[in-house]
């Protein structure tokens, strides 16, 4: 039986963030080069997006390329950029068919022109879709995002738009790339690594973390359902006690 049937549809996380890790190791296991693993990883992306939409997840953010990934061998960076362009272009009709809206966060201006153009086109073509929102984190890192936010906050404070003494969490959130996106309730990382790797540090403050040894190219629909089921067993206390939560039910 599919794990899907056991999911409580009333308690599905509205936003799931995923660190897709293990493509290189998966490829090595197959006797192939790392790039083959990234290509295979696209099939997992397709599967997971479909599975998430089926159970009513509203947002999926995928860590597709980090600021630090620019330091990989040029051949791999070029291949990843080409893969992004070809995948985004090939998948856009399918995204529309499935009512999926594409968005992106990160230092997008640092992407190659062809990649940025394809991305903007797909974002535009899917902008009216009302189902799942697929957010690609590209040339993204939390530290980059926070530095960028601080620069804009300081600039606005200088202009008198903002008073430094009045700054609250809500203000900070308005300066992050995710200002129109709710915080993730669940963060999944594949491949047995237990790190957050500069991903959504602010936004994951109260997220539940789920780590699996499965390598990203092997992560499919059932794996996502399993992660959601595991999330549904967690008690989310937000700093309160278990008793307080029971009393307010």
Active-site annotation, residues: 21, 69
Nearer of residues 21 and 226 to ligand FPP, judged by Cβ: 21
Please give the radius of gyration of the chain, using alpha carbons only, rounded to the nearest integer.
Answer: 19
Nearer of residues 153 and 190 to ligand FPP, judged by Cβ: 190
Three-state SS for the chain is: CCHHHHCCHHHCCCEEEEECCCHHHHHHHCCCCHHHHHHHHHHHHHHHHHHHHHCCCCEEEEEEEEHHHHHCCHHHHHHHHHHHHHHHHHHHHHHHHCCCEEEEECCHHHCCHHHHHHHHHHHHHCCCCCCCEEEEEEEECHHHHHHHHHHHHHHHHHHCCCCHHHCCHHHHHHCCCCCCCCCCCEEEECCCCCCCCCCCCCCCCCCEEEECCCCHHHCCHHHHHHHHHHHCCCCCCCCCCHHHHHHCC
Nearer of residues 175 and 216 to ligand FPP, judged by Cβ: 216
In angstroms, what is the minimal distance from the CB of 63 to ligand FPP?
Answer: 7
In angstroms, what is the minimal distance from the CB of 16 to ligand FPP?
Answer: 14
Nearer of residues 84 and 100 to ligand FPP, judged by Cβ: 84
Which residues make beta-bridge pairs with 63? Answer: 137
8 A C-beta contact, residue 10 and residue 1: no
In angstroms, what is the minimal distance from the CB of 110 to ligand FPP?
Answer: 16
Contacts of 37 (CB under 8 A, 6+ apart): 22, 23, 24, 25, 26, 27, 28, 30, 216, 217
Nearer of residues 162 and 223 to ligand FPP, judged by Cβ: 223
In angstroms, what is the minimal distance from the CB of 133 to ligand FPP?
Answer: 14
- Binding residues (CB under 6 A) for ligand FPP: these are 20-25, 34, 38, 41-42, 45, 62, 64, 69, 83-84, 87-88, 136, 191
In angstroms, what is the minimal distance from the CB of 37 to ligand FPP?
Answer: 6
């Amino acid at each position: 039986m599919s794990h899907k049937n056991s999911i409580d549809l009333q308690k599905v996380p509205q936003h799931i963030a995923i660190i897709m890790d293990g493509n290189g190791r998966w490829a090595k296991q197959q006797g192939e080069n790392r790039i083959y693993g990234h290509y295979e990883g696209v099939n997992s992306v397709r599967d997971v997006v479909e599975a998430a939409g089926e159970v009513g997840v509203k947002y999926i953010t995928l860590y597709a390329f980090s600021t630090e990934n620019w330091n990989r061998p040029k051949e791999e960076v070029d291949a990843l950029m080409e893969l992004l362009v070809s995948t985004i272009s090939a998948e856009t009709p399918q995204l529309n068919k499935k009512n999926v809206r594409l968005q992106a966060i990160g230092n997008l201006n640092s992407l190659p022109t062809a990649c940025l153009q394809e991305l903007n086109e797909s974002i535009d073509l899917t902008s009216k879709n009302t189902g799942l929102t697929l957010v690609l984190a590209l040339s993204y890192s939390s530290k980059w995002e926070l530095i960028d936010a601080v620069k804009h906050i300081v600039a606005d404070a200088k202009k008198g738009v903002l008073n430094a003494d009045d700054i609250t969490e809500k203000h900070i959130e308005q300066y992050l790339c995710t200002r129109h996106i709710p915080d993730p309730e669940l963060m999944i990382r594949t491949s047995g690594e237990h790190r957050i790797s500069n991903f959504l540090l602010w936004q994951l403050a109260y997220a539940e973390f789920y780590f699996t040894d499965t390598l990203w190219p092997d992560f499919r629909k059932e794996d996502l359902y399993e992660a959601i089921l595991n999330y549904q067993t967690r008690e989310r206390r937000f700093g309160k006690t278990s008793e307080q939560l029971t009393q307010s039910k």
